[in-house]
Chain A
């Protein structure tokens, strides 16, 4: 059975996105740290869509386990969606390199590890599709979360390099830059309602872009214009702004 592997499946985007692939007949493989939650999601998908759905415990920062995790999958996936990431606490990252490193590892280093394992497999098989969910935050550092943003910037650059590398092998790489999403990650934080998307909307954007073989998308689409304006502000001006 064709399957989709979700790395960082604890994200709120996983469920609506997995439902779309399952409805299209794909088996679903979920991997993240919290196994009970994933098993609940996998049971649900199996009954709803009559497809195979499995859950695996997986920690993106424990890179030494990645190769054995991927090798132990019952079959290699056709699509890999990487939703791993954590916002972290900016203030903590400023004082403690350990905390900063955790944010960088969870949003960048660990992902490099697992996606390189996936990439090697896809490159050898000359097929496959990799979806990396980065963030608009990576396009310009702000004082409120620049360690996270720097890791996301790294991830975005990583994905474009990976796309360039895998192009001759017919492996597709999609970079997604979501803006605000109504998820657990930002629960309790104030975000402007009108530009805050639901996980379902973002899942729809990702699914359609992946099916269409696109290289890069914003989700929702209007973030392209918001970010265009935002990145046009010169550093000499941006540094004086109270960017949160």
Chain B
């Protein structure tokens, strides 16, 4: 069948297995020469694509929940949407969540996802007590950071290349309400934005939306959005049940937009409008629009049309970040390649062999798949890697092996661990082959 991920590029023909039990998984892994596990397909490019795919859609059971410690054990195919639906009313939240809840636990571990709280909480791997991993040999191994650190830190962020993640035990986080106390700080340019991040580093959640088409003195003008889980005392009097947020209505983009719908003009107008509608100040908002602003528009990826799109997400070290970001942003503004969405975020320290975060700033930009955009990316690759940065594999669809090797210093160690558990290279993706993990 035809398979594609969130970026609608590439579209490939693949055999998709849908195992229902661990025994099914073991049989498929034994029978296939090469395959890659796949969850909800929310990576942007080819990370979970290969000509044989093992879908975790039926491996979606909650296994155990300890309401005294908050330890939640679930199968790889359980989505973050399922988790927040089940857990928020009981006063628990995900310790780390990406900007969409339509990801699976398996995919989130394999991508070692980060959230708006990375600078204080790290990535998802910091909150994983144990994993159950099915290796190429068919053996099922329980992997913990204490018991088997090498395999654990290769599997978190390991893009599904060490084996099939069957289960994960996540340490959930206590919340008193389903609401977020939010503060918005507008910044006129990138220097102000970075300064604002540094000044507000004690906030649990922080993220900035950037108007990346603004030029000159407005280069990098942005709205920094800060957040804390609201306490009972703060909002309890407003709501009968402060742990149940109203479910927002969701709408869908009904069809693929034609390719010309998104052009420099419309994107520029959208970004200017967006910047103008932000107001400095504090408010209380439900957790859904705070964490998952785009989830209320299903299939928003269709606005880019059939040519597809990609996200260019990189991280650069904290030292000298402002100057480097200024250079990169002005290069993008010059190119006229409009990015519909641009998000800036501060990262803290990070473990893991292929985990994306490092202490510094990450910028994520969406682009339609065009030859011009691809040329721009190649230029940016050089700027990023020369300055000690790297690109996010989960968003990538075009990085070359050199960019990968230069960005990921522990790639060699990862390959060693992979060879020890997968000597014949059974778990491979189109992406892993492209960047040289064979």
Contacts and interface: CB of A to CB of B under 8 A. Distances in A.
Interface of A: 37, 40-41, 43-44, 47-50
Interface string B257-269: 0000000000000
A41 B63 CA distance: 9
B51 interface: no
Q: Which 6 A-B pairs have the closest CB atoms?
A: A47-B62, A44-B61, A47-B65, A48-B86, A44-B62, A40-B61
B398 interface: no
B64 A47 contact: yes
B26 interface: no
Contacts of B85: 48
A47 B82 CA distance: 11
Contacts of B65: 47
Contacts of B89: 50
Main DSSP-derived SS at the A contact region: helix
B90 interface: yes
Interface in B42-96: 61-65, 72, 82, 85-86, 89-90
15 contacts: A37-B21, A40-B61, A41-B61, A43-B61, A43-B64, A44-B61, A44-B62, A47-B63, A47-B64, A47-B65, A48-B62, A48-B82, A48-B86, A50-B89, A50-B90
Nearest to A43: B63
A15 to B, nearest CB: 9
B123 to A, nearest CB: 24
A40 B63 CA distance: 7
B90 A43 contact: no
Contacts of A47: 62-65, 72, 86
Contact of B86 (A37, A40, A49): A49
A168 B89 CA distance: 41
Given A47-B64, A48-B85, 13 more contacts: A37-B21, A40-B61, A40-B63, A43-B63, A43-B64, A44-B62, A47-B62, A47-B63, A47-B86, A48-B86, A49-B86, A50-B89, A50-B90
B294 to A, nearest CB: 24
A37 B82 CA distance: 20
A41 B90 CA distance: 20
A43 B62 CA distance: 7
Interface in B112-164: none
Contacts of A48: 62, 82, 85-86
A49 B82 CA distance: 10
Nearest to B60: A44
A48 B86 CA distance: 5
Nearest to A37: B21
A50 B89 CA distance: 10
Of the listed residues B61, B65, B72, the one surrounded by the most CB atoms of chain A closer than 10 A to its CB is: B61
A49 B64 CA distance: 13
A41 to B, nearest CB: 7
A48 B85 CA distance: 8
A40 B86 CA distance: 17
